[in-house]
Chain A
Amino acid sequence: MSAKGGDACRQSGKELAKPLGGTPDAVPVLREFSGRSVAVIGIGKTAFGAFPDRDLRSLAVEAVRHALSDANVTPAAVQAFYLGNFAGPSFVGQNHLAPYIGTAAGFESIPCTRFEDACASSGSAFFHAWQSVAAGIYDVVVAAGVEKMTSQSTPRVTEILAGAGDMAGEGRAGATFPALFAMIARRHMHEYGTTRQQLAAVAVKNHANGAKNPLAHMRKVITMEQALAGKPIAEPLTVYDCSLISDGAAAVVIVPLDQAARYNSRFARVLSVVQTSDHVALDSKKDITLFPAVKAAGEKAYAMAGVAPNDIEVAELHDCFTIAEIVASEDLGFVRKGDGGKFAESGCSAINGRLPINTSGGLKSKGHPVGATGVGQICDIVMQLRGDAGERQVARHRIGLTENLGGSGATCVVSILAAA
């Protein structure tokens, strides 16, 4: 990074990343967390991409096996299975997915349950898995996510995804998910002067990162010129502002922190996991330039973890569309409201920047098999905390954050993790 770029980052660091606060009325009071501390002892992912020869179950089982092997845990030792999946019944015609996958993974007579919260489905599965271990109900739990999307045409995928919105209102009027986020982008541009170039900067950065990720769907560097000249999907968003339609799966194994080292010395500590909710319909929100569910999840997660936004050293944010990464960087307190576009353009969120965001390539380049994304983000952050991210490895990697968003902000799961 040039000296000039470095200065810009330091300046933004000082000016933009003030700790949260000042809106105590908006933050529900947290009961002091009295559960057990939890650790992630195993991670496993399939590649994300278009795999016409793979079925949904085989993808999920592959991810679970990788995670169990990484954790040094046998399938018979697993006490509960939490599966995130958005639309298996619509995409591949299969329901009752958790025992369908759990038995194939070798789990024996344990509770296997599917969680559906749109694109935050496996974030929700991880949250509930974490709760069960923190509450002392189970000691060895697997949380996973899977989606198989590419067997349907793009218009049909668009229609299935639209079901994560309010089908009686915005959906009936013809709102697709790109359209909803395009309207968020349009208003953000109107109020804060966010530019097309700033949106495109998110895509260019995330593709640069994803090009170095062997498990990414689109391992391709793109230029600013390409990003700006992309085919329009929903103005002002082009195809380069939209995440990918992908197949893939991800899984993690969690146990109580005081048992973690027994299985794997390279565990990661879970400092906090918070799930929040908000209106499903975008037109029910007062201000669409922010996600109240993300703000609330972030504030509670920082409080529970005992850290501030400035302490986060690497983050995976839910860039289902480029504008979503910009808004999330504001909602999570990394920058002031309205500065997310400038932050993306400044280089501060690049791998060598002050706060690297989406070193995996994000949903934009890594791919977005929607039900797998939340747990996939946990895997990506644990890789960074372990120092295993290869040429994408960030310099400082003690504390990482993931933000998984469902719909146009109706579900959010924020997790903060720390290196062992």
Chain B
Amino acid sequence: MSYSESRDGVVYTETVVFAPPEQYAADAPYQLAIIDLDNGGRLTVRILANEAAERARVGDKVLFVEERDGVAYYRKLGTPPVNAAPDSRPLV
């Protein structure tokens, strides 16, 4: 992938949601972040993590994993590239 096509970014801010809205009850706790995309712009995304140590902090580089149902999923640079998404539906 060339740089110009990169969907990666850097965490501008983040939180871990313990009290989800009804529709995401099964996902909690999950990490949510606003990221600054390498190519400009900001996006609210989910950060995938198998354990707390894999969660991203402000300033961490994050890599695009997939997009499902209009939500972009990312993982912190250096964490295993596993699909920890809340369900195993195929990529769209």
The chain A residues found within 8 Å of chain B, CB to CB, are: 153-156, 158-159, 162, 168-170, 172-176, 178-179, 182-184, 186-187, 190, 231-237, 281-284, 288
Contact = CB atoms under 8 A, between A and B. Distances in A.
Nearest to A190: B58
Given A154-B19, A159-B21, A174 B30 contact: yes
Nearest to B25: A155
A182 B25 CA distance: 18
A254 to B, nearest CB: 37
B22 A158 contact: yes
A155 B20 contact: yes
B15 A183 contact: yes
Contacts of A282: 34, 44
B69 A172 contact: yes
A179 B17 CA distance: 6
Given A155-B22, A234-B17, 4 more contacts: A169-B44, A176-B19, A233-B18, A234-B19
B16 to A, nearest CB: 4
Nearest to B27: A174
Contacts of B2: none
A283 B17 CA distance: 17
Contacts of A288: 12-13, 34
15 contacts: A158-B22, A172-B70, A173-B45, A176-B21, A183-B34, A186-B13, A187-B58, A233-B19, A234-B15, A234-B18, A235-B15, A281-B44, A283-B34, A283-B44, A288-B34
A154 B18 CA distance: 13
Nearest to A189: B58
A305 B44 CA distance: 39
B15 A186 contact: yes
B43 interface: yes
Contacts, number: 94
For the residues of B in contact with A, the DSSP-based class is strand
B23 interface: yes
B13 A184 contact: yes
Contact of A173 (B42, B44, B59): B44
Contact of B22 (A159, A234, A237): A159
Contact of A156 (B22, B33, B43): B22
A366 B17 CA distance: 25
B71 A158 contact: no
B10 interface: no
B16 A232 contact: yes
A376 B15 CA distance: 31
B21 A155 contact: yes
B32 A175 contact: yes
Contact of A190 (B13, B24, B70): B13
A190 B34 CA distance: 14
B46 interface: yes
A173 B24 CA distance: 9
A174 B21 contact: yes
Contacts of A169: 43-44
B54 interface: no
Contacts of A162: 21
B14 interface: yes
Contacts of A190: 13, 58-59
A175 B44 contact: yes
A153 B20 CA distance: 12
Contacts of B45: 173
Nearest to B71: A173
Contacts of B30: 174
Interface string B26-52: 010010111000000011111000000
A182 B15 CA distance: 6
Give the most central of A159, A173, A231, A234: most B CB within 10 Å: A173
Interface string B61-80: 00000000111100000000
A232 B71 CA distance: 24
Contacts of A158: 19-22
B14 A186 contact: yes
